Structure 1
Amino acid sequence: MKLSLILWLAQILPQPVADPLCLTTTIYLEARNQSIEGQRAVAEVALRRLDSGRWGDSVCEVVTARGQFAPSIVHPGHRLKNVQAWTASAEVALDVQQQWALPPGERNEVVPGASHFAALYANPAWANAPKVKTIGDHAFYRVLRL
């Protein structure tokens, strides 16, 4: 399935359906080759950004905010071909969203406070922020200017 089709579906579906689709797509594109912990961490960053209100009012708005996550960076013609990875990403997305519905103190968070992440080979301007954790080939950061 092409990324452009998924993003189009996310625009026409009601938010309670579109948000898990957008989160699944983000996990797939950003972390399908990572451990479950790494995939959960990516989802947590997206949901934490949603909570902040700075990047949008829905998961889809957050993950498609210009230049922030893979759905806004990867070419729209990109095909998501790995069905097993897609299924695993969907399971992680749904599980993390259920966890996120709990009060903050009751969540089982993988990267508490992390609002950003980057591949280990990348050196974004905010990489001097406090590092929360490294998981696989991603580093997760708490950028204080949320």
Structure 2
Amino acid sequence: MVQVWLALLGLMLTFGLMLAAQGAWRRSASRTVAAGSRSPAPASAAPAAHAADALPAIDGSTGTVALPALPIPPGAVLTDSGVSAARPFLWGPANAIDRARAMQCLTAAIYYEANGESIDGQRAVAQVVLNRARHPAFPGTVCGVVYQGVERAHCQFSFVCDGALARAPAVSGWARAARIAAAALSGGVFAPVGLATHYHTFAVAPPWNRAMVMTDMVGAHLFHRWKGYWGTAAAMNRTYRGGEVLPSLPVAGGTPAAASEMPVANALPVPPLPTASASPAAAPAPRDTRNTPPPVSASGAVISERLARSGEILDKWKDSGRPIERPDGPRPAMPGAAPVTDQRR
């Protein structure tokens, strides 16, 4: 019996030594990787290619892209500083076409990504789009951000590639999204989400959320920004230059269609920006009723002109409201009434 216990004790000691050695090896490997990740990128490094194409947007989340392999400026703050509000959007050298297209693309993103959200939830989605337009890891236009990856079927916003654009938008929901887009493009900032460039719903857990800093929860969405320098306001220093382009979008049947041909563009008008002066509506011209034909009822019969005029009663209805005569007595005479006879009608 003693020999059996000694054998078991020896096996337990051997197993413990193996686990300790394995843990020490893992800690050494992690320190080596961490030390390598702190090495600065060379100044001549070009932006990373489409390394994140394997992670397109799934239902309820935005897609990810690779951080730019650009050198971090000397003296840049690399630590996280909590949540700071983004700067107001400025148009820069944008013409009327750029403004109209940016308005259309941002309205579509707000509507199809957050139509069921509150006003704050829709403002938060608009802020993410504008934050991306300033960041060097994303396109520099509003439409470029919204439709990024559509040519490779790796859309950054899921509504672009999942067939949502085939559904015509509701008038009331589209109008509300347009108002929120106009306010954001006119300089309105939704400060609670800060510098967030990503979001996802509670229903999904994308792998990138563990490598980012969550800035806020608004409605059904969780908003995130990058850690370190690439999640700071200093990294979002790109100025809007215009050049909005409406891309070709996939439609049912396999034939690409321009974004201006989608129902989101031609079914509902986009209101002007709040800063634009709206022309006053012309007063309606007075209606000439001298030669107007008499009105026609639903059955097609012409309504009498005397009946059409308010306050006048036809002769055959003048006795309405008079007490019904008793069958055993004479019908009382009323001034101005038709003569009464004993004949039953």
TM-score by length of 2: 0.35
Aligned amino acid, residue 193 of structure 2 = V
- Once the two structures are TM-superposed, the CA of residue 16 in structure 1 deviates from its matched residue by 1.5
Paired residues for 1:22-101 under 5 Å: 22-66=105-149, 67-75=155-163, 78-99=166-187
For 1:111, the equivalent position in structure 2 comes to: 193
SS in 1 for 2:222: strand
For 2:208, the equivalent position in structure 1 comes to: 126
SS in 2 for 1:142: strand
Tell me the matched-pair count: 128
SS in 1 for 2:206: coil
TM-score by length of 1: 0.79
Note if contact 1:131-1:142 (Cα within 8 Å) is conserved in structure 2. yes
Structure (1 or 2) with the larger CA radius of gyration: 2
Identity value in percent: 30
Note if contact 1:29-1:70 (Cα within 8 Å) is conserved in structure 2. no
Aligned amino acid, residue 133 of structure 1 = D
Give 5+ residue unaligned stretches, structure 1.
1-12, 101-106
- Once the two structures are TM-superposed, the CA of residue 108 in structure 1 deviates from its matched residue by 4.9
Equivalent of 1:135 in 196, 218, 224: 218
- For residues 143 and 163 of structure 2, what CA distance do their matches in structure 1 show? 17
Note if contact 2:132-2:138 (Cα within 8 Å) is conserved in structure 1. yes
- For residues 71 and 134 of structure 1, what CA distance do their matches in structure 2 show? 21
Distance 1:77 1:49, change over 3 A: closer
- For residues 135 and 77 of structure 1, what CA distance do their matches in structure 2 show? 24
CA-based RMSD of the aligned residues comes to: 1.9
Spell out, residue by residue over 1:105-133, the C-alpha distance to the aligned partner (whole angstroms, 9 max, x if none). xx452311111011111111211111111
Deviating above 4 A after TM superposition, structure 1's stretches of 4 or more consecutive aligned residues are: none
SS in 1 for 2:223: strand
Give 5+ residue unaligned stretches, structure 2.
1-95, 150-154, 232-345
Distance 1:15 1:120, change over 3 A: same
- Once the two structures are TM-superposed, the CA of residue 70 in structure 1 deviates from its matched residue by 3.5
SS in 1 for 2:140: coil
- For residues 120 and 64 of structure 1, what CA distance do their matches in structure 2 show? 23
SS in 1 for 2:137: coil
Note if contact 2:123-2:190 (Cα within 8 Å) is conserved in structure 1. no
- For residues 58 and 125 of structure 1, what CA distance do their matches in structure 2 show? 27
